[in-house]
Chain A
Amino acid sequence: MNGKRENRIDKIVSDLLRGRRLKLRGGDAEEKGAITAAARLAAARQGSQRMHPAFRKSLASLLEQEPKQDRVTRRAALVAGLGLAAGVAGGTLLGRATQPGIMPVAGATIDPVNGRWIDVAAMSDLVEGQGKRVKAGGVGAFLFRRGQTVTAVSSICSHLPCELWWDRSNTHLACPCHPASFHPDGKPTDGYALPALNPVQVRVTTAGRIEVLGTE
């Protein structure tokens, strides 16, 4: 553990007391006893330890899914159910939600029918290492700059159909509806079996403008 151990442990304690998840580093293992004790003490302080109603509801829908149905994310099921998929992706998403034998591992690149390149920002608007949310018609995306390269992922969580937000302090995309978060490349931040975010097509013009393949 680098630096003063008491500082590092207090950071972990402060996070727990604010209700944040345990974010541990490799070196923290040297204080594993203190950390597990802190987690127990923090739990005792919170009083009621019943599930949040929204979480209980999400578990109920998980349990009530039809047997032999593939594990489809609730977002995909919702999109299919609303019939939005047909217009947005020519049935691709609908197929993904209902076709047997397909396990969504990573999101497919968003490829809108009659897609248009929409100017969303200038290169100079992007700060390296920080996400920027943009909208290209019906396609919402987070842009990330690395040198002269820009990548983009969907701004919709792959688990619940909620708009992600950029968590500047933890440098990841966080879902407001559920404890899910994603790296800038769209992969989930922990081992939690979530599909990756859908990549969004993006390009940089010679004039240094960023365009996203979106809709009108």
Chain B
Amino acid sequence: MTSEEPASEPGQVLQLPTSARATDIALDELELVYAFIYARVGNRADAEDLTQQVALKAIPRLREGAPASAIRGYLFATARSVLGAFWSTRLGLSESELREDLAMPIALGPPSEEGTETVQQILAQLSDNYRRVLELRFLHGYSLKEVASEMKSTVGAIKVMQLRALRAAAKVRPE
């Protein structure tokens, strides 16, 4: 799917498994769901598991036949609930804590942009040191040792700074 060609037209009816075309449309919708989930869990294995859970839950609705716009809404509502269960099981996060994160606008363009833009907004609001440590570690893939060398510090100090920078990043609300 490209940004010029939306996955489906409003009003178009999806019904499975009547045609390969319907499957393709559903898969393109799930591609957006995958990007949405991936941007929040940060790894392929969990993103695939959660996307598959969304697909399994959505199949009965897809079979009923519904407008594509409704399908997208249903898929994302399901994705939010699946993600909510994921975080609450692993970290005890409540729904209210997650609401803001999960309600962020859904990317309708190329799937890779949402996460990147959000992260840039978050980083821009951090202090120089915090931003630098997170940029080097996450965006450039530096090891702790390399970050320490770059920032003329020790591995222990960088580890502490990384934790504090992540705590600070968690408090930033992207615009």
Partner-B contacts on A (CB < 8 A): 5-7, 9-10, 13, 16-17, 19-22, 24, 28-29, 31-52, 55-56, 58-60, 62-67, 71, 178-179, 190-193
- Determine the residue in chain A with the shortest Cβ distance to B30: A59
When distances are taken between beta carbons in the complex, the residues of chain B under 8 Å from A21 are: 43, 45-46
- Taking the complex as formed, is B139 at the interface, i.e. its CB lies under 8 A from any CB of chain A? yes
* A34 with B166: CB separation less than 8 A: yes
- Determine the residue in chain B with the shortest Cβ distance to A5: B163
User: What are 20 A-B residue pairs whose CB atoms fall within 8 Å in the complex?
Assistant: A13-B138, A17-B137, A32-B97, A36-B91, A39-B41, A39-B43, A40-B118, A41-B139, A42-B42, A43-B39, A45-B138, A49-B34, A49-B111, A56-B27, A62-B56, A63-B17, A64-B16, A64-B17, A67-B17, A179-B48
> Given contacts A34-B167, A40-B40, A62-B55, are A51 and B30 in contact (CB under 8 A)?
yes
When distances are taken between beta carbons in the complex, the residues of chain A under 8 Å from B152 are: none
* B51 with A40: CB separation less than 8 A: no
- Taking the complex as formed, is B6 at the interface, i.e. its CB lies under 8 A from any CB of chain A? no
> Given contacts A43-B40, A52-B48, are A6 and B92 in contact (CB under 8 A)?
no
* B141 with A59: CB separation less than 8 A: no
* B51 with A37: CB separation less than 8 A: no
* A59 with B51: CB separation less than 8 A: yes
> Given contacts A22-B46, A34-B170, are A49 and B92 in contact (CB under 8 A)?
no
Size category of the binding interface on chain B: 35 or more
State in angstroms the CA–CA spacing of A51 and B16 once bound together: 21
Partner-A contacts on B (CB < 8 A): 16-17, 20, 23, 26-27, 30-31, 34-35, 38-49, 51-53, 55-56, 59, 62-63, 85, 87, 89-93, 97, 101, 111-112, 115-116, 118-120, 122, 134, 137-139, 141, 144, 159-160, 162-163, 166-167, 169-171
- Determine the residue in chain B with the shortest Cβ distance to A22: B46
Task: Known A-B contacts: A9-B166, A63-B62, A191-B85. Give 8 more (CB < 8 A).
Answer: A34-B166, A36-B91, A38-B138, A39-B43, A43-B42, A44-B139, A65-B17, A71-B56
- Determine the residue in chain A with the shortest Cβ distance to B113: A49
Least distance between B31 CB and chain A CB atoms (Å): 6
Least distance between A34 CB and chain B CB atoms (Å): 4
* A6 with B39: CB separation less than 8 A: no
* B163 with A6: CB separation less than 8 A: yes
When distances are taken between beta carbons in the complex, the residues of chain A under 8 Å from B112 are: 47-50
Least distance between B172 CB and chain A CB atoms (Å): 8
State in angstroms the CA–CA spacing of A39 and B72 once bound together: 24
* B166 with A16: CB separation less than 8 A: no
